[in-house]
Structure 1
Amino acid sequence: MTVRTRSTTAVRATPGRRAGARGISRRAAAVAFLSPSMAVIGVFVTVPIALTFWISLHDWSMYTPLSEMSWRGLGNYQDLLASQEFFTALRNTVIYVLLVLVVTIPLALALGMLLYFPKNAGKGVARAALFSTYVVPTVAIAIVWGALYAPDYGPIAQAFDAVGLDAPAWLSDPGTALVSLVVFHVWQMIGYYTILVIAGLTQIPIDLYEAARIDGAGFWRQTVSVTLPLLRRTTTFIVLIAIINAIQVFDPVYILTQGGPAESTTVLSFAIQRSAFQYGLAGQASAMAFSLLLVLVAVAGVVLAAMRRRS
């Protein structure tokens, strides 16, 4: 009897040991597969962020070796708080982001539903045409839009002249320059956000719409009660991506306006580039870049926390 008990105990212990060994081997395999990607992230993301923060604590010119940096501590950040140029760039960036969100999110939702629900033969062509604006290089699009906005020979100015109206000075007027860049940004990015909305719509079960129709709900009622609530995660992702893309805008500002006129289109990304490469103030530019990173992290945290609370 004793021998049988011991053998039974040994047999029962064997599967547990095998499961533990299997779990260890799976964890080891996961570490082995993830190690290359984590190493790449560490080299190309974490190290540059740490180096940017380290440079922001020093006085340094882009034209001298790193060994010639002089320690300044938080002096660059204190200079930012007293810099009118920094707050002008920050204000322009906030206005730019808000305008992009106000226009992009409703338009992307409307276009996404328009290209998903109706059973039309040309939906695929329309989706491809919308998405094509996103894949074209920004520099090429900016050159084309610069010609469109031209006050003398541009097609938009000629269209105004044709109806007897004076065309606005789109890029040379401080009151319209930033709005003109917002129009350019929305035109370029709306196709990408529309495709994301369509991808989110494909995840909503058709049975919910059939049940809503049986209950007598029309299109608008279905949109408010079914579509928009179930698109909440997709909408949150689009908002975050739109904010990040709008904050990082640089190419159209550099090509079309150079921050003018009268600093009306000077956004943070352009101010960082100008401080580092034109003024040679790499420490101050790094402080601005790290501050921008903190703003992005804070905005993303606030948006995600708000959506979790609503859920």
Structure 2
Amino acid sequence: MIGRYRRSTIGMLAPATGLIALFVFVPMVLTIGLSFTQWSTQTGFDTARFVGIANFADLLGPTSIGRDFRAAFINTGIYTGLSVALILPLSVLLGLLVHQTFAPGGILLRTVLFSTYMVPMIAVALVWSKLYSPTEGPINQMLGWVGIPPQTWLSAPNTALVSIVILNVWQQVGYFTVLAVAGLTQIPPSLYEAAKVDGASAWVQFWRITLPLLRNTLLFSAVIAVINAVQVFEPVALITQGGPVNSTNVLTYHIRRVGIERAQGGLGSAMAVTLMLSLIVVIVLLFALLRDRGEQR
């Protein structure tokens, strides 16, 4: 009986496991292997020549390859940091508004917020490129109503990356608001009732009850937000193409430029592996940081 149950379980899991292995693990292993080779994407895999860690040495070296990679790496870090720093507080704030019961409209607000996440990023990028237009964009027109001169949102190195961050936050915050609401529903109302009896203000309740009990939800949200942010590609490819002056040249777009446009498959694979390792380090640090804070509480 137990053997039949095991065979049945393996049979049901085999298709999904096979697809994951085919489309996730095989490309991952192939990318890691190609990162140690010199290979052109215009030729077959049989032309790849093993060069050891030469590609990784180039990424850390003083040549233009290393400088461009480090600039793209820094842009990705800034983009990711700003996105997470804006998305998490906004999702908690909007989650509290959606979860409240003393005013109507919570379900409508939840629907409106989540609908932004359902819009494809390509459509969002095209719409926001029009919103950011220096001459006819609605954003500059509204700024003109209060006496602020038009801003070159996507044309200036100082504002281009931040403009892409705002676009990403608008598109992503609805999804993370739903996660925050899910976390809020798991907090027992009796804790707030006891806090009110003890005379705790709403602010004290938020810091002493809501935020600590949302720790696991915020950890999950932070991990997903980081993963989504480092994969940004469509807004950069459609709107800025890495400019102006490479100020929005993030790693995913730079890997595509090096690996496909310049046909340097081995070097592009090394960049992808470096990005993957950096992402793993960040996620491990997030788990360690939030876990330690939870244990201290």
- Look up the equivalent residue of 1:76 and give its one-letter code: N
Give 1:51's match in structure 2, choosing from 30, 48, 57.
Answer: 30
- Pairing 1:190-229 to 2, within 5 Å after superposition: 190-229=173-212
TM-score (norm 1): 0.89
Kept in 1, the 8 Å contact 2:92–2:180? The answer is yes
1:247 corresponds to which residue?
230
**Shift in CA distance, 162/225, structure 1 to aligned 2, threshold 3 Å:** closer
Of stretches 238-247 and 67-76 in structure 1, the one that deviates more from structure 2 is 67-76
| Unpaired stretches in structure 2, ≥5 consecutive residues | none
- Pairing 1:251-270 to 2, within 5 Å after superposition: 251-270=234-253
- Confirm or deny that 1:184 pairs with 2:167: yes
Of stretches 119-128 and 260-269 in structure 1, the one that deviates more from structure 2 is 119-128
- Confirm or deny that 1:90 pairs with 2:73: yes
Kept in 1, the 8 Å contact 2:135–2:150? The answer is no
Identity of aligned residues (%): 44
1:108 corresponds to which residue?
91
- Confirm or deny that 1:166 pairs with 2:149: yes
After superposition, the C-alpha distances for 1:141-184 in whole angstroms (9 at most, x for unaligned) are 11110001111111112223333331221000000001101111
CA distance in 2, matches of 1:92, 1:222: 38
Deviation at 1:309, TM superposition (A): 2.6
Deviation at 1:118, TM superposition (A): 3.2
Of stretches 189-198 and 296-305 in structure 1, the one that deviates more from structure 2 is 296-305
Structure of greater Rg: 1
- Confirm or deny that 1:152 pairs with 2:135: yes
Root-mean-square deviation (CA), in Å?
A: 1.5
SS in 1 for 2:99: coil
- Look up the equivalent residue of 1:135 and give its one-letter code: M
- Look up the equivalent residue of 2:17 and give its one-letter code: M
Deviation at 1:31, TM superposition (A): 3.3
1:40 corresponds to which residue?
19
1:238 corresponds to which residue?
221
SS in 2 for 1:309: helix
| Unpaired stretches in structure 1, ≥5 consecutive residues | 1-20
- Confirm or deny that 1:139 pairs with 2:122: yes
SS in 1 for 2:157: coil
1:72 corresponds to which residue?
51
CA distance in 2, matches of 1:163, 1:231: 39
TM-score (norm 2): 0.93
- Confirm or deny that 1:125 pairs with 2:79: no
